[in-house]
Structures are given as C-alpha cells and as structure tokens.
Amino acid sequence: FVRKTRRCYPNPYSCIDVREGFEKREASQCTWTHFMSEIDGSRDGSPTFFEVPLSSTKYFISVYAPENSAYTLTVLADIGAFPRPGANGRLTARQLSELQVQISWDASGFVPPGISDAKQYWVYSSMLLESDNRTNMAVFLRPDKIMNTVCGLQNNTDRQYSIIPADQCSNGKCNATIDGVITDKRYVFNIVAESYRGHRMAYAGLIMRTNWEVIRQAANDRTLRVVGAVSGSVLG
C-alpha cells in the first residue's frame, strides 16, 4: 500500500478484515491509497515492485499480511544498482545424463546501465515432494513455500548449490551443471543474480522431472549398442 503526502495513510485495515466469520478483502474500499498490490489472494506470496519518479514528493508505505509472515522491504534510490533478470527471468534446463542436469539463463541487466554490474549468480536446487504443487501462475510454488524470491529460496533450501561468477557467462548466456539428481523425481531450480552493490534478485524458477532411460540395441550376441536416451521433461 502506497500513499503520497499523508503520513497516516494508507490504511490496510480500511479494506481488509481477517476476523473469523467477517473475512473480506475489498480493494475498492481502501482509503487514501495511490497504489497497492493485488489483495484478492491471487498473488499472496509473490513479490511486488513499485517504481516512482525522482521528486520531492513524500511516499508512505504500509506492508500488510493477513497471516503471520516474514518479508523484506527494500527502498532503493539508485535503481541502476539493482539487477534485472534477463529474458524476464526465464530458465531452461536439459538432462545431460542420468544423474546430471544443466540449467541455462540469460545474464541480468541494469537500468540505467553503468551504475553497477552483475557480480555472481547463486544456483539453487531442491527436490520437491509429490504434494508440492503450484497454487496459481503468479506464485512459485505457493505462499508458504516461495521459490522465486531471495528470502524464499534461503528459507526453503538448506543452502545454495553453487555460485557462478558472472565472468563465466559468454555472450549474455550462463550455464550451471547440477550433479546427483535422482531419476523420476521433480526438482525446482532457480537462480539469484547479485550485483557488485550487494543487491540480489531471483529469476522466475523452473520445475523439471528427471527421467533418464537408456535405449540399447543388440548388435550381436555379445554386444549391446546404445542408440538413444530419453531425458528429463520441464514441467513449468
């Protein structure tokens, strides 16, 4: 919730009620608000960005959650220091072998350029439970298990899988190889870009089911010849 010029607003309680039996989220009733994220529940757990022009206007910000939550609020005047994931955060993946997956992504950019640059990329990998499913396309995976924000990845994984220096990327393309995956399991992969100013931004994330089946053909009675392999499939 963002309001210009008036300190006592915005007031989330003017349009949100979490009392049992009286639950409501009515955006039209939010008083004295210039900007707010979606409050109908469809984007609970997703990151919100609000960018304003440089001016002398004062902005007052309220962060509200209808249930006990943890969040990070970053206010940045020099927006050129903040990494912006390339290709809108899209990742690609392919299975190289039975126990090995390669993920690829576009290098992050900076607007305006010249303020900072990418220092390194944090690679995250986590095996999903069969019950782990996306609630909607705006949240990856769901509000209580977020895998496309920096703090969400830190809270829902033991640690990063590896760190790739930005100078290892070539022509704006970056790759990382992940070893030790288990066949026929779903994995979530994601990347966090870090700038030299220390600001971090997560990519969109990707879910992949590993599946490696070697197909052999008998050349003679004593020899088997490998003629192909079925690799993993990207689910989202």
Q: What is the pLDDT of residue 98?
A: 86
Pairing of strands 145-146, 16-17: unpaired
Residues 99 and 95: their CA atoms lie apart, in Å, by 8
**pLDDT score at 150:** 92
The tokens for 219 are 């050349």
Q: Residues for the chain: how many in total?
A: 236
* Cα–Cα dist 161/168, whole Å: 17
Both tokens of 93, joined, read 């993946």
Q: How far apart are CA 27 and CA 70, in angstroms?
A: 23
pLDDT average per 10 residues of sequence, the chain (236 residues): 85 89 90 87 82 81 83 86 94 90 96 94 93 79 87 90 96 95 91 96 91 54 48 58
Nearest to 95 by CA among 207, 209, 188: 209
- Report, in angstroms and rounded to the nearest whole number, the Rg of the chain calculated over CA atoms: 22
- Residues 101, 102, 103, 109, Cα dihedral to 10°: 160
pLDDT number for residue 46: 81
